[in-house]
A and B are shown apart, each in its own frame.
Chain A
Amino acid sequence: MVSDTGLIHPRWVRITHWVNAAAVITLATSGWRIYDASPFFPFAIPTQFTLGGWLGGAIQWHFAAMWVLAGNGVIYLAGNLISGRLGRKFFPWSPRACLADVLAALKGKLSHTDPSHYNMVQRAAYLFVMLDSVLLVLSGLVLWKSVQFPLLRTLLGGYEAARREHFLAMAALVAFVGVHLVMVALVPRTLLAMIRGR
C-alpha cells in the first residue's frame, strides 16, 4: 500500500541502500584481490575486476569499507526494527506462498503494480541477503581477529572454515546482486523509487 504522501521508500532506507551498495562493491572487488593472493578454489579472479592494485592496497580498501558496511548495516537493521518496517514489509512469509509467487512469476502473472508491497519471493530474497550479510560480517570478524573471538571462531568451524564461508557468503551476495539488477532492469521504476522515494 502506498502511503498518503506517495512515498515508497523513506529517506533513511534510500540512504542506507546506496551506502550499502557502495560498501558492497568496494568490499567485493577488494576481497577478490585478497582471495587472489592465495586462492583455495582452482581459480583466481581476473585482476581487472579487482580493487586495490596489490594485496596491501586491497586490504586497506577492504578494512576501511568494512566499517561502512557494518555501521550502515546496524543503522539499517535498527531502523527496520524500531520503525516496525521489518515486520510490515517482510512478514508474514511462508514457503507455500513463496512457491505460489515463484510459479506466478514464471507464468508472467506476478503483479508489480504496487512497488511498496514486496511479494513473497522478494521478501525471501531480501531476508536472505540480510542474514547473508550478517554471516559475512561474522566470518569476516573470525578472519580478521580469529584469536580475539574464540566463541565465534569455534561456531564457524575454525579459521580455515571461516575463509570458505566468507567466500561462499560473498558469492551468494553477488548472485543476489545479479538477480536484483536484472529485476530492476525489468521494472525500471523501482530504481526511480529507490532514488526519489516515489
Chain B
Amino acid sequence: MRKNASRQLIVNGERLLEDALKDMGRHLEQPTRRAFLQRSLSLGGLSLLSGCSIVDESSVEEALMKVSRFNDKAQAWLFDPQRLAPTYPDSMITRPFPFNAYYDEDEIREVDEAAYRLEVTGLVADKRAWTLAELRAMPQADQITRHICVEGWSAIGKWGGVPFASFLRRVGADLSAKYVGFKCVDDYYTSIDMPTALHPQTLLTLTYDGQPLPPRYGFPMKLRMPTKLGYKNPKYIQAIFVTNTYPGGYWEDQGYNWFGGS
C-alpha cells in the first residue's frame, strides 16, 4: 500500500512539474488569454471547433469563463458556513503526505524563522506584522482532514494552528469584506471568499502531524481549508490582505475555478 502511494506520489509530482513547465512556457510565449483559448479548444480528433471558423474561438472561451463565474456563485450559495468537512482518526493519515506545488520538490523555499514577519494589510484595523512566536502564543486547534486536489487524488493529513476566524477578529479585519488574499514566498498567490475564511475548520496552519510545519508543506505557514481544493490552500504565506477588489490567483488566472470549493 505504502509503496503504491509513494509511487503515485512520484507520478503526481512529475505530472505537476510537467504541467507547471508547460504553463510557464506558454506564459513566456504569449498572453495568458490567448494561451488559454488554444488549450481549451485543442480537441484532438474531434476538433470541430478549432478546425473550422464557424464558431469564434474567443467567444467560446468567454462563455466558458462566464459559466465558471456562475459556478463561483452557485458554490457560494451551496456553501454552508457551519457544515464541517469529515474528520478522520490518526490511523487514516496518508503517510507520507504528498508534496505538491507548481514546481518540483528541489525548488522548495527555505524561510528563515528569525527574519520572518507575516504582513497583514488591507481592510484591517491592526496592520502590525506578526512573528511566528506571536502566532504560536494564540489559542491553537488541530484537525485531521482530507485534502482534495483539483487533479482528483486526495490525501488525509493532520494540521494544527490558529483558527483563521480568530486571527481575522484579532487583527480587526472588516468581516463584511468580500475577499481575503494571500501572497506567498514562492510567488504563489490566491484568494478566498470571506464566508470560507470564517469557517470553523479554516486554519492558519503552523504544524503538520504535531511538528512545526516542514518546508515541504509550506513553512512557516499554510492556510488549511478542508472545504476547498488544494490549489486554494496557500503555503509559504508572506502576506495576508483583506479587500473588496477581486485578487484572483496563480491558477485561477489561468482558468481554474476561483471558488474551488468542495
B-binding residues in A (CB < 8 A): 25, 29, 34-35, 37-38, 40, 47-57, 59-61, 63-64, 67, 143-148, 150, 153, 159-160, 163
Contact = CB atoms under 8 A, between A and B. Distances in A.
Contacts, number: 109
Given A146-B148, A159-B146, A54 B19 contact: yes
24 contacts: A25-B46, A35-B152, A40-B152, A40-B153, A47-B44, A48-B45, A51-B43, A52-B40, A53-B40, A54-B39, A56-B251, A56-B256, A59-B257, A60-B67, A61-B64, A63-B67, A63-B257, A64-B68, A147-B84, A147-B86, A148-B78, A148-B79, A148-B83, A159-B154
Pick the most buried of A35, A52, A54, A61: most chain B CB atoms within 10 A of its CB.
Answer: A54
Interface string B33-60: 0001011111111100000000000000
A67 B44 contact: no
B149 A38 contact: yes
A198 to B, nearest CB: 28
A57 B152 contact: no
A59 B75 contact: no
A45 to B, nearest CB: 11
B262 A147 contact: yes
B255 A38 contact: no
A56 B254 contact: yes
Given A51-B46, A147-B227, A148-B83, A57 B39 contact: yes
A29 B40 CA distance: 12
B164 to A, nearest CB: 16
Given A55-B19, A159-B154, 16 more contacts: A37-B151, A38-B152, A40-B152, A40-B153, A47-B44, A49-B46, A51-B43, A52-B39, A53-B38, A53-B43, A54-B22, A63-B68, A148-B261, A150-B83, A159-B146, A160-B154
Nearest to A56: B255
Nearest to B16: A37
Interface of B: 8, 12, 15, 19, 22-23, 36, 38-46, 63-65, 67-68, 71, 75, 78-80, 83-86, 146, 148-154, 226-227, 251, 254-257, 261-262
B190 to A, nearest CB: 14
Contact of A34 (B148, B152, B256): B152
Closest 10 CB pairs of A and B: A53-B39, A48-B44, A57-B40, A56-B255, A37-B151, A53-B42, A64-B67, A38-B151, A60-B64, A38-B153
A196 to B, nearest CB: 23
Contact of A29 (B38, B43, B154): B43
Nearest to A167: B152
A57 B255 contact: yes
B255 to A, nearest CB: 4
A37 B93 CA distance: 23
Contacts of A49: 44-46
A61 B40 contact: yes
Contacts of A52: 39-40
B67 A147 contact: no
A147 B68 contact: no
B148 A159 contact: yes
Contacts of A153: 86
Given A37-B15, A150-B83, A145 B261 contact: yes
B85 A147 contact: yes
A126 B208 CA distance: 50
